[in-house]
Structure 1
Amino acid sequence: MTPSLKVTVSGYKMYTAGSIIASYKMSLSVAGVRLKLRPYAKAKKWNKCFCIGSHKTGTTTMNALMNLLGYDCAPELEMAMSTSEQLQHGLYQELFEKIRQYDFFQDSPFSDGLTWVALDSAFPGSKFIYTYRDPESWFESLVRFQAKNIGKAVGEVSPKDIADFSFLRSGFLKTKTEYFWLARVDDRLQRVVHDWSLLYDKKHYIHLYIERRDQILKYFQRREQDLLVIDLTKEDSVKPIADFLELPCFVNFSIPAFNATDEADNNYCVNVLDSRLAEILLGK
Structure 2
Amino acid sequence: MRLFKKSPKIFCIGHNKTGTTTIETVLKQMGYTKGNQVKGELLLKSWHQRDFKTIIAFCKKAQAFQDIPFSLPYTYQHLDLAFPNAKFILTERDSTEQWYESLTRFHSKLWADGKRIPTATDLKNTPYREQGFAYSFAKNVYGTPDDNIYDENVLKAFYEQYNATVKNYFKSRPEKLVVINVSNAKDYGKLCTFLNQPPIGDDFPWMNKTLDVKRKQ
SS of the residue 2:141 aligns to: helix
> Which among 129, 135, 155 is matched to residue 174 of structure 1?
135
Deviation at 1:246, TM superposition (A): 1.8
Q: Deviations over 1:144-182 (max 9, x none)?
A: 111111132343522111111111101111111101112
The reply to whether residue 97 of structure 1 matches residue 57 of structure 2 is: yes
- Identity of paired residues, percent? 27
**Contact 1:49–1:103, Cα closer than 8 Å, also in 2:** yes
Larger-Rg structure: 1
Q: Indicate whether 1:230 and 2:195 are aligned.
A: no
Q: Is the 8 A contact 1:54 1:131 kept in 2?
A: yes
Q: 1:69 to 1:138 in 2, by over 3 A?
A: same
Which residue is equivalent to 2:204? 255
State the match for 1:69 in structure 2.
30
Once the two structures are superposed, residues 217-240 of structure 1 have per-residue CA deviations (whole angstroms, 9 ceiling, x without a partner) of: 111110111000011111256311
Aligned to 1:217: 167
Change (3 A) 1:130 1:237: closer
Compare the two structures and name the one with the higher helix fraction: 2
Q: Check if 1:53 corresponds to 2:2.
A: no
Structure 1: segments with no counterpart, 5+ residues: 1-44, 184-194, 264-284
RCO comparison, higher one (Cα < 8 Å, 6+): 2
Give CA deviations for 1:29-51 in whole Å, capped at 9, x if unaligned: xxxxxxxxxxxxxxxx9721100
- Return the offset for 1:86: 1.3
- In structure 2, the partner of 1:107 is 67
| Structure 2 unaligned spans of 5+ | 1-5, 213-217
**8 Å Cα contact 1:198-1:204 kept in structure 2:** no
After superposition, the C-alpha distances for 1:44-77 in whole angstroms (9 at most, x for unaligned) are: x972110000111110110110000111111212
Q: Is the 8 A contact 1:182 1:196 kept in 2?
A: no
1:160 counterpart residue number: 121
| Distance (whole Å) between structure 2 residues aligned to residue 76 and residue 160 of structure 1 | 25
1:162-205 CA deviation, whole Å, 9 max, x = no partner? 1111111011111111011125xxxxxxxxxxx23442222221
Matches within 5 A, 1:269-280: none
Give deviations 1:83-107, integer Å, cap 9, x for gaps.
Answer: 1111211222332222112111000
Equivalent position to 1:244, from 194, 205, 208: 194
CA contact (8 A) 1:239 1:252 kept: no
Letter in 1 for 2:105: R
Checking the alignment, whether the CA contact within 8 Å between 1:228 and 1:244 is kept in structure 2 is: yes
Superposition TM-score, scaled by structure 1 size: 0.67
TM-score (norm 2): 0.87
**What is the aligned partner in structure 2 of residue 4 from structure 1?**
none
Structure 2: how far apart are the matches of 1:124 and 1:200? 36
Equivalent residue runs for 1:170-209 within 5 Å: 170-182=131-143, 195-209=145-159
Match of 1:274 in 2: none
* Count of matched residue positions in the alignment of Structure 1 and Structure 2: 205
**Separation of aligned partners in 2, 1:207 and 1:92:** 25
2:84 — aligned with what?
Answer: 124
What amino acid is the match of 1:151? A
Letter paired with 2:76:
W
Question: Which amino acid in the other structure matches residue 256 of structure 1?
Answer: P
